[in-house]
Amino acid sequence: MAIAVSQIADITQRAKRAARALAQADSAVKDAALEAIASALLTRLDEILEANERDMQLAREAEIGAALLDRLRLDEARVAAIAGAVRQIAALPDPVGEVMDGHRLPNGLDIRKVRVPLGVVAVVYEARPNVTIDAAALCLKSGNAIVLRGSSTAAHSNSVLAQIAAEAAVGAGLPEGCVSLVAGGGREELAELATQRDSVDLIIPRGGESLKEALQAVATVPVIYAASGNCHVFVDASADLERAEAIVLNAKTQRPGVCNAAETLLIHAAVAGEFVPRILRALGKAEVLVRADEHILRMAAELESSSARLEPAGEEDWDSEYLAPIIAVGVVDSVQAAIEHIARHGSGHSEAIVTSDTATARQFQLGVDAACVYVNASTRFTDGGEFGMGAEIGNSTQKLHVRGPIGLRELCTFKYLIEGDGHVRA
């Protein structure tokens, strides 16, 4: 069953019909569909890698950069990990029908607040083919139909992956239209998808600020923005500096092209004299370019050798999501100054403090307004898989209706079920 490219309205209407059936699907049927998807990914590995190599070749010719190439690339291990995530999602409890609250009123009416699927979820994403399967598995498990719209950079990979997911799901008993792919077109197509109010219940864009801005300009369908991550690590005066170095390096270099990588390092002035030389050496060895404030530049000039490449930081650097081996580094006088810096420049994604002081940690946790706030841990843990969700569609930096990794429960709303015994209101 190939996924045919057709009008957006036709695709979303089919998804709407599928969503009605999915909302009533048994957990066992949904889990069987996910198992079928995971098995098909491994069985059709060669087909997936061939399609991905076509995308990679075109991307290399377009010189999209190492970080984006890393996002785009699939290999046997990554496909196996994607299949493993699908199986992890299948093993999670079904959120549909979960009773969130319940009580009996004085008049004898029984009220239950119960999780239900949203309906049709459209996911718009850039060069991350793994999102095709992660998003499909999460939506199907939570009883939602999904409409996928990937980027042209990953067109071949997304097409094969979406076809595999759709065929396996339908073959296991889920309705036609439960997984659809919107292929081709440009911003006009995106605008059409974003205005299908009669058939699409939610759009989740996963990409950079340009994608977010494009949707903000046209969307009439509700949107949860899985937005960019300008993440910070603050090294406090009481920090264990060996621990701080390890956390900074992990947050920046473990995979620099992802939204939970650190883009800014803030260092308390009380430990700058000791920590700046060692972190500059470490960043230099890791081949990370440092955009430094005047304090860091002055300290670096007094060192015999830092091995790091340094450039003066401009105001725009504090607001930048580099997605590359680049980090902005500055010195602050207090934890409150760090909190205020993050408030001015952060994107509300993930922020971390390295400290040995409980009161300071608590001040940071209360003062920083972000989806995820870490104490003595790398920002790289902001991920649905790491949080035990199996996978995620993205990380929401807004506050309604969901914040942080978007997993199964986040793809549900709720309704009230009220049962009486001939009750009428006086």
Q: Which fold has domain 8-226+393-419?
A: Aldehyde Dehydrogenase; Chain A, domain 1 (3.40.605)
Site of tokens 């409890």: 93
Q: What is the pLDDT of residue 24?
A: 97
Instruction: Compute φ and ψ for 282, nearest 5 degrees.
Output: -65, -40
Q: What is the pLDDT of residue 185?
A: 60
Task: Say if residue 237's pLDDT is above 70.
Answer: yes
Q: What is the pLDDT of residue 3?
A: 44
Task: Say if residue 424's pLDDT is above 60.
Answer: yes
In the structure encoding, which two tokens stand for residue 60, read together?
Answer: 């290399």
Q: Which helix (H) or strand (E) holds 82?
A: helix 76-91
Q: What is the pLDDT of residue 184?
A: 61
Q: What is the pLDDT of residue 293?
A: 97
- DSSP-derived letter for residue 223 is B
Handedness of CA 297, 342, 255, 325 (dihedral sign): negative
Q: How confident is the model at residue 183 (pLDDT cuts 50, 70, 90)?
A: confident
Mean pLDDT across 288-292: 97
- DSSP-derived letter for residue 420 is -
Q: At what angle do helices 155-171 and 45-62 cross, to 10 degrees?
A: 160
How far apart are the C-alpha atoms of 83 and 91, rounded to whole Å? 13
Lowest mean pLDDT among 38-52, 182-196, 321-335, 368-382: 182-196
Homologous superfamily (CATH) for 231-381: Aldehyde Dehydrogenase; Chain A, domain 2 (3.40.309.10)
Enumerate residues 6+ apart whose C-beta is below 8 A from 259: 227, 228, 229, 231, 321, 323, 349, 395
Q: What is the pLDDT of residue 4?
A: 40
How far apart are the C-alpha atoms of 239 and 225, rounded to whole Å? 34
Mapping DSSP to helix (H, G, I), strand (E, B) and coil, where does residue 263 land?
Answer: strand
How far apart are the C-alpha atoms of 174 and 22, rounded to whole Å? 7
Task: Say if residue 228's pLDDT is above 50.
Answer: yes
How far apart are the C-alpha atoms of 18 and 179, rounded to whole Å? 9
In the structure encoding, which two tokens stand for residue 89, read together?
Answer: 């999602």
Q: Which helix (H) or strand (E) holds 56?
A: helix 45-62
How far apart are the C-alpha atoms of 379 and 334, rounded to whole Å? 21
Mean pLDDT across 310-337: 96
Please give the share of the chain, as a percent, with pLDDT higher than 90. Answer: 85
Q: How confident is the model at residue 85 (pLDDT cuts 50, 70, 90)?
A: very high
Instruction: Compute φ and ψ for 236, nearest 5 degrees.
Output: -80, 165
Task: Say if residue 418's pLDDT is above 60.
Answer: yes
Q: What is the pLDDT of residue 5?
A: 42
Q: What is the pLDDT of residue 1?
A: 42
Task: Say if residue 103's pLDDT is above 60.
Answer: yes
How far apart are the C-alpha atoms of 150 and 128, rounded to whole Å? 8
How far apart are the C-alpha atoms of 404 and 393, rounded to whole Å? 10
Task: Say if residue 348's pLDDT is above 90.
Answer: yes
Task: Say if residue 2's pLDDT is above 50.
Answer: no
Residue that wins the pLDDT comparison between 302 and 232 = 232
How far apart are the C-alpha atoms of 246 and 282, rounded to whole Å? 9
Mean pLDDT across 89-106: 97
How far apart are the C-alpha atoms of 104 and 418, rounded to whole Å? 10
In the structure encoding, which two tokens stand for residue 314, read together?
Answer: 């401009």
Q: How confident is the model at residue 38 (pLDDT cuts 50, 70, 90)?
A: very high
Q: Where are the domains of the chain?
A: 8-226+393-419, 231-381
In this structure, are residues 144 and 22 in contact, taking their beta carbons and an 8 Å threshold? Answer: yes
How far apart are the C-alpha atoms of 149 and 286, rounded to whole Å? 35
Mean pLDDT taken over the chain: 94
